[in-house]
């Protein structure tokens, strides 16, 4: 193995990379080479690994013992000890403590109910008796749940195994016991599934000493029964009696060697059997595998190295005691914070996964705030009743001949007063979005938790101060409107126009049937009482709502006339309703959609729901008013008013038209001015504060709270993360350097040729295809090679000669040798189909 010293330097580096990625808490982006050990329960996987180390250190017991993947990294070293990744810095010299730590760490993740977990345990063993190897011991495959195990334990274990064996850089060590039918081996079945060409699979046959008397596994180990491209290796582990009797593993390895040398079926291949030979084969194969994957590994490492280089550029020369570096970091982060916040508000960010803060504020101004204003619309009957009360109260005992101005002014002021609530709510929604943007952008300061807290505190404190000013401005604006009712406004209809205005003119004026919005909605009325729902493509116009099968708008499912329809929210969870549900209905209780009184729809999110509601407002579909008062109150009021005389009815109609005209003017003013108030006093003022006053506020804070060191103190998590990133950076750099030093002169065993398909499907051994050497099975000495063949024949599988584990059969190599004496030459022509090349050779 001396020619592979350069290659073997890579194995410890691969181990370093595995540890670095595991400590950072995410999967390695580089597919690192390793050996995965696969087999059924009690197949002997753990015993094979313990034989490699030469120590008892793995948990034992009945049923499923290995319940978490164990990443075992063997490192050749003069001293012998073990280290766990989760106990970094602690050396375990007592291997009984290693076993207990594995059991405790397993229970911490899975409990004591025989459950499993895909989170691996990383163990590194240093010993002078091992070769550099990286193995993954996986839970044994089982069929029946035991104890509190879930019913799908078989599927869970299989999925976990597949996570490891499907990686192209993983060698598969398929462990199967010799005392069971090899054709039913779970390990070989999975290996065949993920590695059909057999390039990554090595077979291991255990429990050879437990086979029934008169049987052996010679055909399997000679790769003639269920052949593998890389062949099989037989091992003999300690029996349960040996384990309970604490038989030393070194003594067990000596017994294993004597078993193969003394068994008549295995003595001719004893040099290619046993744990020591298996360890050498795995080391060679892992080294070869790393060599074969070097181009891909180099490419991925370079990509990872470049990504890490940018991230650790500020870490490489970092010093926690350098005040100049801290000052520079403070200035850089505050400038970046201002830049990111401005981008988020002004819409110059390139993020396409979610709406920016500015886009959400825009939706508040033009969708949610108008919707709140529309919800304030007074019911027609209630408004007329209010006007009637005002007229009669002003006239008192007298019968009025003219329409009183005071009634118009009193009703109008009450309607204007109600605009304060949606104005205040608009400011609250804007403040919420601004605060969310600040919290999100301040995550860039997570390295310095104290700095982040102070920045958020100072900026949000300023936002709250501006919130008070904005609400005062909104209230003042409403008070300005209440102070004077301007009946000479150019858009006001005036008394004369109001008297001649017909009732029909007060109804909703629809624009041309233009398209307002298109999008996907879920129709939940398709199967009432059955919980059925289906997605359709909806097209909302000024007069109709149509839905189609898809965006092509060819297969129209229905066309709904929106005349007289209203909108209402639906409670989620009721009768299986989804969240963000709403309904379209007719106040006259007529059917809206087929036999349904309501058309139940569902949006994909709360933001989509608000957007659709605003679109329906543009189409004239207004929300249902909440009925807070007693439904009998209207009857009582009607009884108090009595019947209206024609003159009073005309006066009510006139004032109703005047109020409607004046309120439309006021609503336009409020709807236009509220976004300006919010932008000036909240948004723009906050951007100005961050750019000019935030830094001075932080410096004033450092003068009273321990200086810059306290403000720029790193978190413990960030310090650990920086160390891990730097360690991974250097590991990648070192690995790239080693790869660059490796040349093509490295010793490499070529891949064996593939197994012919007819042999892969041949599960029975046919004796006539093999020369009769049965007498050698019982010979006390190893077989001697005959001097000359009596019947030369073509070997049945010449490709086996190139395998790593080729069977030591004397017959296949003899026909290619030249005859030892001239006497044997005449025998060749007597063959009906002799070899044409032999007579032409010089004697």
pLDDT band with cut points at 50, 70 and 90 for residue 683? very high
At residue 390, does pLDDT exceed 90?
Answer: no
Res 5: pLDDT: 52
**How many whole angstroms separate alpha carbon 283 and alpha carbon 134?**
9
At residue 243, does pLDDT exceed 80?
Answer: no
Who contacts 739 (Cβ-Cβ below 8 Å, separation ≥6)? Answer: 10, 294, 297, 298, 301
Q: How many CB atoms lie within 10 A of CB 758?
A: 7
**How many whole angstroms separate alpha carbon 236 and alpha carbon 618?**
83
CA atoms 319, 323, 325, 327: torsion sign: positive
Residues in the chain: 843
Report the mean per-residue pLDDT for the chain: 76
Q: Which of 705, 737, 618 is nearest to 305 (CA)?
A: 737
Q: Are 442 and 337 in contact (CB under 8 A)?
A: yes
pLDDT band with cut points at 50, 70 and 90 for residue 14? low
> What are the tokens at 807?
């069977």
Which range (42-56, 334-348, 748-762) has the least confidence? Answer: 748-762
**How many whole angstroms separate alpha carbon 559 and alpha carbon 562?**
10
At residue 748, does pLDDT exceed 70?
Answer: no
* 553-570: pLDDT as tens digits: 888 888 888 888 888 888
Res 379: pLDDT: 67
Starting at the earlier edge strand, list the strands of the sheet with 515-527.
Answer: 556-561, 544-548, 532-541, 515-527, 598-602, 581-585, 566-569, 622-623
Output phi, psi for 294, to 5 deg: -55, -45
* 539-548: pLDDT as tens digits: 998 888 998 9
pLDDT band with cut points at 50, 70 and 90 for residue 120? confident
Question: DSSP string spanning 169-201?
Answer: TEEEEEEEETTS-GGG-HHHHHHHHH-TT-SSE
Q: CA–CA distance from 337 to each of 334, 438, 562, 695, 714 (Å)?
A: 5, 9, 48, 11, 18
Mean pLDDT across 356-362: 89
Assign 536 to helix, strand or coil: strand
pLDDT band with cut points at 50, 70 and 90 for residue 685? very high
Q: Are 17 and 735 in contact (CB under 8 A)?
A: yes
At residue 504, does pLDDT exceed 50?
Answer: no
**How many whole angstroms separate alpha carbon 366 and alpha carbon 426?**
11
pLDDT band with cut points at 50, 70 and 90 for residue 473? very high
Which range (409-413, 574-578, 625-629, 655-659) has the least confidence? Answer: 625-629
At residue 478, does pLDDT exceed 90?
Answer: yes
Q: Which of 287, 221, 218 is nearest to 806 (CA)?
A: 221
44 vs 26, which has greater pLDDT?
Answer: 44
Q: CA–CA distance from 803 to each of 220, 223, 265, 749 (Å)?
A: 14, 10, 20, 10
Q: Which of 776, 651, 11, 679 is nearest to 345 (CA)?
A: 679
CA atoms lying within 13 Å on the CB side of residue 465: 9
pLDDT band with cut points at 50, 70 and 90 for residue 239? confident
Q: Which of 702, 727, 717, 708 is nearest to 447 (CA)?
A: 717
Assign 115 to helix, strand or coil: coil
**How many whole angstroms separate alpha carbon 256 and alpha carbon 341?**
71
Mean pLDDT across 229-241: 85
pLDDT band with cut points at 50, 70 and 90 for residue 424? very high
Who contacts 816 (Cβ-Cβ below 8 Å, separation ≥6)? Answer: none
* 255-290: pLDDT as tens digits: 888 998 988 888 899 888 998 888 888 888 777 777
Which range (175-179, 373-377, 772-776) has the least confidence? Answer: 772-776
At residue 613, does pLDDT exceed 80?
Answer: yes
> What are the tokens at 413?
């002021």
**How many whole angstroms separate alpha carbon 562 and alpha carbon 540?**
10
At residue 631, does pLDDT exceed 80?
Answer: no
Res 622: pLDDT: 80
CA atoms lying within 13 Å on the CB side of residue 710: 11
Percentage of residues in the chain with pLDDT exceeding 90? 12
Which range (314-318, 322-326, 451-455, 564-568) has the least confidence? Answer: 314-318
β-strand 544-548 against 556-561: which pairing, if any? Answer: antiparallel
Q: Which of 59, 72, 66, 67 is nearest to 110 (CA)?
A: 67
Reported as type and span, the H/E element at residue 357 is helix 357-363
pLDDT band with cut points at 50, 70 and 90 for residue 826? very low
Res 574: pLDDT: 55
Bridge partners, residue 234, by sequence: 205
Res 417: pLDDT: 92
pLDDT band with cut points at 50, 70 and 90 for residue 209? confident
Res 502: pLDDT: 40
Who contacts 232 (Cβ-Cβ below 8 Å, separation ≥6)? Answer: 202, 203, 204, 205, 220, 221, 223, 805
Who contacts 122 (Cβ-Cβ below 8 Å, separation ≥6)? Answer: 18, 19, 22, 71, 73, 84, 85, 86
Judged on CB neighbours under 10 Å (0-12, 13-18, 19+), 398 is exposed
The conformation of residue 755, written as its DSSP 8-state character, comes to P
pLDDT band with cut points at 50, 70 and 90 for residue 508? very low
Q: CA–CA distance from 526 to each of 238, 578, 633 (Å)?
A: 68, 14, 38
pLDDT band with cut points at 50, 70 and 90 for residue 635? very low
Q: Which of 73, 27, 32 is nearest to 294 (CA)?
A: 32
> What are the tokens at 613?
């509601």
């Amino acid at each position: 193995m001396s020619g592979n010293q350069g290659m073997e330097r890579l194995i410890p580096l691969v181990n370093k990379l595995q540890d670095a990625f595991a400590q950072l808490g995410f999967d390695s982006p580089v597919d690192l080479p390793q050996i995965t050990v696969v087999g059924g329960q009690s197949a002997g996987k753990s015993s094979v690994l313990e034989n490699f180390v030469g120590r008892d250190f793995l948990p034992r017991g009945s049923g499923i013992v290995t319940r978490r993947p164990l990443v075992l990294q063997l490192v050749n070293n003069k001293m012998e000890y073990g280290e766990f990744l989760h106990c970094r810095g602690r050396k375990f010299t007592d291997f009984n403590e290693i076993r207990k730590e594995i059991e405790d760490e397993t229970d911490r993740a899975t409990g004591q109910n025989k459950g499993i977990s895909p989170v691996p345990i990383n163990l590194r063993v240093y010993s002078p008796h091992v070769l550099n190897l990286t193995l993954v011991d996986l839970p044994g495959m089982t069929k029946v749940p035991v104890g509190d195990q879930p019913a799908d334990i078989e599927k869970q274990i299989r999925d976990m195994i597949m996570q490891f064996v499907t990686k192209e850089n993983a060698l598969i060590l398929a462990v199967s016991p010799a005392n069971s039918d090899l054709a039913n081996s779970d390990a070989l079945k999975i290996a065949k599934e993920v590695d059909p060409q057999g390039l990554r699979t090595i077979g291991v046959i255990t429990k050879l000493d437990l086979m029934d008397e008169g049987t052996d596994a010679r055909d399997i180990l000679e790769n003639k029964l269920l052949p593998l491209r890389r062949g099989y290796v037989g091992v003999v582990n300690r029996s349960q009696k040996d384990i309970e009797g604490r038989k030393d593993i070194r003594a067990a390895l000596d017994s294993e060697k004597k078993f193969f040398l003394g068994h008549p079926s295995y003595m001719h291949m004893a040099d290619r059997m046993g744990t020591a030979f298996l360890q050498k084969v795995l080391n060679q194969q892992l080294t070869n595998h790393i060599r074969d994957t070097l181009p891909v590994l180099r490419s991925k490492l370079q990509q990872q190295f470049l990504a890490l280089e940018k991230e650790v550029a500020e870490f490489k020369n970092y010093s926690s005691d350098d005040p100049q570096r801290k000052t520079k970091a403070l200035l850089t982060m505050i400038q970046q914070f201002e830049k990111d916040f401005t981008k988020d508000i002004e819409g110059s960010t390139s993020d396409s996964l979610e709406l920016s803060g500015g886009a959400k504020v825009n939706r508040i101004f033009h969708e949610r705030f108008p919707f709140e204003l529309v919800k304030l619309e007074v019911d027609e009957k209630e408004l007329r009743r209010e006007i009637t009360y005002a007229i009669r109260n002003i006239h008192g005992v007298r019968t009025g001949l003219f329409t009183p101005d005071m009634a118009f002014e009193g009703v109008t002021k009450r309607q204007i007063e109600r605009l304060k609530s949606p104005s205040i709510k608009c400011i609250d929604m804007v403040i919420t979005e601004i605060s969310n943007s600040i919290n999100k952008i301040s995550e860039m300061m997570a390295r310095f938790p104290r700095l982040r807290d102070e920045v958020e505190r100072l900026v949000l404190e300023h936002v709250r101060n501006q919130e008070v000013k904005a609400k005062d401005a909104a209230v003042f604006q409403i008070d300005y409107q209440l102070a004077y009712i301007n009946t000479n406004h150019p858009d006001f209809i005036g008394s004369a126009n109001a008297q001649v205005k017909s009732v029909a003119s007060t109804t909703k004026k629809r624009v041309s049937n233009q398209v307002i919005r298109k999008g996907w909605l879920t129709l939940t009325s398709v199967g009432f009482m059955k919980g059925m729902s289906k997605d359709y493509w909806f097209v909302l116009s000024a007069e109709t709502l149509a839905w189609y099968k898809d965006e092509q708008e060819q297969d129209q499912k229905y066309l709904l006339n929106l005349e007289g329809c209203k909108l209402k929210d639906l409670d989620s969870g009721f009768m299986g309703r989804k969240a963000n549900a709403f309904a379209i209905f007719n106040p006259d209780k007529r059917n809206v959609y087929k036999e349904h009184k309501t058309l139940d729809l569902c949006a994909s999110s709360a933001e989509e729901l608000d957007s659709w509601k605003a679109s329906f407002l543009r189409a004239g579909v207004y929300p249902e008013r909440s009925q807070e008062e007693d439904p009998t109150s209207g009857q009582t009021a009607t009884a108090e008013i009595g019947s209206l005389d024609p003159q009073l009815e005309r006066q009510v109609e006139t004032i109703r038209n005047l109020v409607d005209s004046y309120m439309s003017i006021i609503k336009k003013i409020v709807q236009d001015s509220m976004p300006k108030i919010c932008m000036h006093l909240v948004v723009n003022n906050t951007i100005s504060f961050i750019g000019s006053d935030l830094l001075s506020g932080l410096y004033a804070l450092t003068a009273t709270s321990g200086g810059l060191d306290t403000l720029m103190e790193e978190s413990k998590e960030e310090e650990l993360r920086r160390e891990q990133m730097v360690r991974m950076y250097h590991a990648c750099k070192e690995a790239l350097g080693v790869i660059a030093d490796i040349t093509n002169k490295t010793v490499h065993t070529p891949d064996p040729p593939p197994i012919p398909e007819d042999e892969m499907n041949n599960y029975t051994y046919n004796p006539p295809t093999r020369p009769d050497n049965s007498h050698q099975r019982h010979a006390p000495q190893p077989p001697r090679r005959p001097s000359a063949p009596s019947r030369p024949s073509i070997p049945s599988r010449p490709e086996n000669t190139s395998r790593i584990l080729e069977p030591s059969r004397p017959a296949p190599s003899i026909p290619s040798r030249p005859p030892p004496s001239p006497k044997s030459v005449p025998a060749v022509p007597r063959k009906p189909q002799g070899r044409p090349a032999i007579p032409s050779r010089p004697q």
